[in-house]
């Protein structure tokens, strides 16, 4: 705001001191050029608005500068779009790696280690998400938590807002009594809000779930999947994310993830809230809290577990 206020003062001062027939004052033009060079579109629009209000005789020159700016921005956007279209499968991936520790409550009350990987490829017509996480703990010489989750979720974009999703997930949670659980789902998603700072999307579809229990029994069932994803870039250093439903969510960031799979016999709900604080470069620290709830766990198991995690996150 300090720079913008200074720009306003200079523009106003120069504008009232110049002859009516003179060209756009050099300081005013320099301020517009500086705003354009900053790369911040909001600053450009604000400075140009003030320049027009205080230099009504130079609207043509200001409009010419804006036309040139808009043309360059359109060219940059077209180049980025073409790059996405031409990129191969192994190009333009973004991701995170995470490693840290946790404290659990519920079926166990111990300390353990946690790790995870998240990969995203966002192309013009499709998007591919890959997530993997492992939590492990031992107490008095025996393993008390051995939990693994791997999820692959491709999206096909029908438009800027409507998309189809497919989801395949593998889970292992010996604490909850199953050695393997597979979930397959497909359906539609819709982005209700999508701006620079806020994204709100919903998705829903049928699912099939196959569970192999520790005791050797197996069960297959039809299920329903409902999801809500919410991202809010509160500031440059703070981001809040809420992903709710379905099978499955730098600078200081927060994110919340909640997942629900519902069938006639059992419902699974997972909710995670996290805050990421940037340390240096691509390295951040993450504080998170996770709740896992099974409505129909094996006999002798508690329905709800929680994990409080502290970890380091590296963006790549």
pLDDT tens profile 167-215? 999 999 887 788 899 999 999 999 999 888 888 888 989 888 888 988 8
What pLDDT, on the 0 to 100 scale, is given for residue 230? 77
Torsion on CA atoms 25, 27, 28, 31, rounded to nearest 10 = 160
Q: Which residues pair with 178 in a beta bridge?
A: 173, 213
pTM of the model: 0.69
- 139-162 pLDDT per residue, tens: 777 887 888 999 999 999 999 899
- 69-113 pLDDT per residue, tens: 888 888 887 777 777 766 777 788 999 999 999 998 887 788 899
Nearest in space to 55 (alpha carbons), one of 27, 97, 25, 32: 25
Q: Is the pLDDT of residue 252 over 50?
A: no
Contact 280, 267 (CB under 8 A): no
CATH T-level assignment (fold) for domain 93-315: Porin (2.40.160)
Mean pLDDT, residues 259-265: 58
Domain segments of the chain: what residues?
2-86, 93-315
Pairing of the two strands 178-194 and 198-213: antiparallel
Q: Is the pLDDT of residue 257 over 80?
A: no
- 220-245 pLDDT per residue, tens: 888 888 777 777 777 767 676 666 55
Of all helices (H) and strands (E), which one includes residue 77?
A: helix 59-86
């Amino acid at each position: 705001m300090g720079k913008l206020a200074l720009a306003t003062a200079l523009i106003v001062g120069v504008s009232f001191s110049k002859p009516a027939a003179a060209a756009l004052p050099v300081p005013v033009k320099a301020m517009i050029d500086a705003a354009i060079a900053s790369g911040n579109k909001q600053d450009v629009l604000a400075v140009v608005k003030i320049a027009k209000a205080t230099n009504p005789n130079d609207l043509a020159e200001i409009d010419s500068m804006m036309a040139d700016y808009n043309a360059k921005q359109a060219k940059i956007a077209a180049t980025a779009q073409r790059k996405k279209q031409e990129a191969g499968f192994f190009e333009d991936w973004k991701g995170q790696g995470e490693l840290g520790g946790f404290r659990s409550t519920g079926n166990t009350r111990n300390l353990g280690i946690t790790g995870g990987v998240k990969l995203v490829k966002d192309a013009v017509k499709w998007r591919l998400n890959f997530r993997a996480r492992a939590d492990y703990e031992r107490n008095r010489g025996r393993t008390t938590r051995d939990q693994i989750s791997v999820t692959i979720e491709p999206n096909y974009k029908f438009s800027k807002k409507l998309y189809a999703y497919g989801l395949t997930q593998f889970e292992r949670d010996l604490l909850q009594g199953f050695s393997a659980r597979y979930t397959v789902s497909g359906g539609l998603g819709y982005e209700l809000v999508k701006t620079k700072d806020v994204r709100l999307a919903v998705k829903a579809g049928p699912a099939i779930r196959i569970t192999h229990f520790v005791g050797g029994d197996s069960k297959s069932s039809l299920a329903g999947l409902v999801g809500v994803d919410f991202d809010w870039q509160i500031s440059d250093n703070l981001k809040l994310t809420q992903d709710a439903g379905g099978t499955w969510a730098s600078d200081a960031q927060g994110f919340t993830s909640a997942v629900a799979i519902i069938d006639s016999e059992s419902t699974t709900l997972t909710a995670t809230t996290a805050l990421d604080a940037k340390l240096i470069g691509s390295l951040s620290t993450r504080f998170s809290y996770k709740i896992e709830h099974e409505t129909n766990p094996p006999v002798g198991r508690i329905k709800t577990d929680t994990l409080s995690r502290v970890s380091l996150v590296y963006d790549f």
